[in-house]
Amino acid sequence: MFLEQLVNGLTLGSSYALIALGYTMVYGIIQLINFAHGEIYMFGAFAGLFLVTLFDVNIFVALLGAMAFCMVLGMLVERVAYRPLRGKSSRLSALISAIGVSIFLSTLMALLRGTNTTRYPEILKIHTYHLGPLELSSLQIIILLVSALLMIGLQLMIQRTRLGKAMRACSQDLDAASLMGINPNRIISYTFAIGSALAAAGGVMVGIYYNAVWPYMGTMAGLKAFSAAVLGGIGSVPGAMIGGLTLGVLEILGVAYLSSSYKDAIAFGILILVLIVRPQGIMGQKITKKV
Amino acid sequence: MDALLSQYIDAYYLHLMVLIGINIILVLGLNIITGVTGQLSMGHAGFMSIGAYTAAIMSVHLAFPFWASLLAGATAAAAFGFLLGLPTLRLEGDYLAMVTIGFAEIVRVFFLNFEPGGKAVGLSGIPEHTGFTLVWTMALLIIVLNAKLLNSRIGRSFYAIRENEIAAEAAGINTTRLKVLAFMIGASLAGLGGGLYAHYMTYIAPQDFGFMKSIELLNMVVLGGMGSIPGAILGTIVLTLAPEMLRIVAEYRLLFYGALLVLLMIFRPNGLLGDIRWYDFKKRWFNKGVKTWPS
């Protein structure tokens, strides 16, 4: 029972982690809470649904297609709504702009598809495996494996490639990075693309797992993923992964052993408690204030 | 007075004006926390719902007089403002924002499961005590008091904390106490607005006070211009009327609202009145000297 809930929690948590990565990467570079990120996740889920219903593709093609679509969408949002604001306005104006994009995107999808939930067609034969006391569905295995692959890939990219190096430089100091010949606008654009692709992967997998997508699914998922990012220490990539998994596991355990009607409150309650004890999040570095 | 007004003014416009009045009270509260003191709060609807539910439950279940329940609502909200103000001692910026979001969500889920509040169905049959006259008398009173407060020693300390917390502390301001105080004042205004709202709509439900409500209020503060009272009022009027004006585009309403927010921020990044100072106007109007190039 406990092990099963743990696996359920990890499955949910890996989707939070995938979304949280986008928040934390964008935040790390331009200190913006990208409120439209939840909507990108929602668009990813719908893009996957679209591919599956119209072209009858398998889960991996749907995943890749949705990721490619959201990469473009993420870069577009950054270009239209955030770049014009950069440098000449406070962070709060950018935040309001992000909220505007979020309202715009969710309404757009509601107009296109209606506000009802759509079910994902059955694209995967679901087997259940028994490992001793543990029950695992093939879908859970796929979700855990794909998330793990994506996160390892991301970590390798950030640590090993030129692009990753440039991203790390930008997150340390945007001005100094641009003096070293890095084009910050391009790096920011790529960051949005990568974050959005990860969110899209999360969206497709959650859509299949819970067998439901709807235009307002991004709001709550976005809030929870953001709290996962803050929990892990915002701006830190491993922090977002740990924060997402922790939040997912604790939420599922809370629902299983405490009360299901307080489901949404559990995640936020944990977050507040952790932040009061450790204000910089789990993996965040404490920044000493300097005059 | 209300009866007289309703003879001359269309009920719909009167309704809008009452909503603007209530929103002004709410937004001035948030303005003190976020606009003036610079503590990003994204959970203002949480305080509003505490005020609304406290006042409504006291009126409906305990048959308290209207004024007493209104006061109780504001006090309850202020108490939670105190509690939420405490973490600000250690948290800042976006961490604080997340805590306020979390707080508002927990409050919403609590009222979703709260028996005396009618759970998810909401609480109906609240006696109607609020009208145009009362709301606007309160709103004007609060605008005046707000202006007095912001010009006082306390108000100036609030601005100082926003501009530079370390410098403010070095100048002898007890930042801890003042930040908690800002949260308490802001929350009590939200509670008051919530109580008025409950006694105007006669029906409240948890979904009236969701995350989007907090965001809407924050939009009003930022759009008007951070920390400026005329700005907060203008922002409130524009954003309360915008969805109504956009009714011509029917279901595309929210689409335009979202796009409007983005465009306004691109073209007026500091808010509508954010970078306009009366001082500049005065100087321009009363300047008798020879025009020179700005240095």
**Considering CB atoms only, which of A93, A101, A271 is closest to B258?**
A101
CB contact under 8 A, A96 and B258: no
Q: Over the stretch B38-55, which tens digit does the pLDDT of each residue have?
A: 888 888 999 999 999 998
Residue B69 and residue B204: Cα distance in Å, rounded? Answer: 15
**Considering CB atoms only, which of B91, B105, B222 is closest to A264?**
B105
Q: Over the stretch A163-177, which tens digit does the pLDDT of each residue have?
A: 999 998 988 888 898
Residue A280 pLDDT:
75
Residue A268 and residue A266: Cα distance in Å, rounded? Answer: 5
Measured in whole angstroms, how far is the alpha carbon of residue A183 from the centre of its chain? 25
Amino acid identity, position A138 = S
CB contact under 8 A, B101 and A90: no
For the record, the structure tokens of B171 come out as 């100048």
CB contact under 8 A, B265 and A268: no
Angle ∠(B32,B36,B37) on CA atoms, nearest 5: 90
- H helix or E strand, kind and range, residue B203: strand B203-204
Task: Look at A262-266, B31-35, B146-150 and tell me which has the smallest mean pLDDT.
Answer: A262-266
Residue A216 touches partner B, C-beta closer than 8 Å: no
Residue A234 touches partner B, C-beta closer than 8 Å: yes
Residue pair A213/A62 in contact (Cβ under 8 Å)? The answer is no
Chain B residues with beta carbon closer than 8 angstroms to that of A265:
105-106, 109-110
Contacts by B209-212 with C-beta closer than 8 Å and gap 24+? B209/B45, B209/B46, B209/B48, B209/B49, B209/B52, B209/B104, B209/B107, B209/B108, B209/B111, B210/B45, B210/B108, B211/A219, B211/A223, B211/B42, B211/B45, B211/B101, B211/B104, B211/B105
Residue A191 and residue A149: Cα distance in Å, rounded? Answer: 18
Rg (CA), chain B: 20
Q: How far apart are the first and last CA of chain B?
A: 54
DSSP chain A: -HHHHHHHHHHHHHHHHHHHHHHHHHHHHH----TTHHHHHHHHHHHHHHHHHHH---HHHHHHHHHHHHHHHHHHHIIIIIGGGTTTS-HHHHHHHHHHHHHHHHHHHHHHH-SS-BPPP--S---EEEETTEEEEHHHHHHHHHHHHHHHHHHHHHHHSHHHHHHHHHHH-HHHHHHTT--HHHHHHHHHHHHHHHHHHHHHHHHHHHT-B-TTHHHHHHHHHHHHHHHH-TT-HHHHHHHHHHHHHHHHHHHHHT-STTHHHHHHHHHHHHHHH-TT-SSPPPPPP--
Residue A21 and residue A193: Cα distance in Å, rounded? Answer: 12
Report the chain A residue with the minimal C-alpha distance to residue B39.
Answer: A92
Residue A272 and residue B236: Cα distance in Å, rounded? Answer: 30
pLDDT-derived band at A65, boundaries 50, 70, 90: very high
Q: Over the stretch B123-163, which tens digit does the pLDDT of each residue have?
A: 877 778 778 888 899 899 999 998 888 888 898 898 888 88
Residue B295 pLDDT:
47
Determine what percent of chain A falls in helix, strand and coil, rounding each to the nearest 5. 75, 5, 20
Q: Over the stretch A69-104, which tens digit does the pLDDT of each residue have?
A: 999 999 999 999 888 888 777 777 888 888 889 989
Question: Cα distance from A141 to chain B (closest Cα, Å)?
Answer: 31
Amino acid identity, position A46 = F
**Considering CB atoms only, which of B95, B101, B258 is closest to A100?**
B258
pTM score? 0.83
Counting one residue from A and one from B, how many pairs have CB atoms under 8 Å apart? 126
Q: Over the stretch B106-127, which tens digit does the pLDDT of each residue have?
A: 999 888 888 787 777 888 777 7
Say whether domain B7-286 belongs to CATH 1.10.3470.
yes
Domain definitions of chain B by residue range: 7-286
Residue A77 and residue B259: Cα distance in Å, rounded? Answer: 12
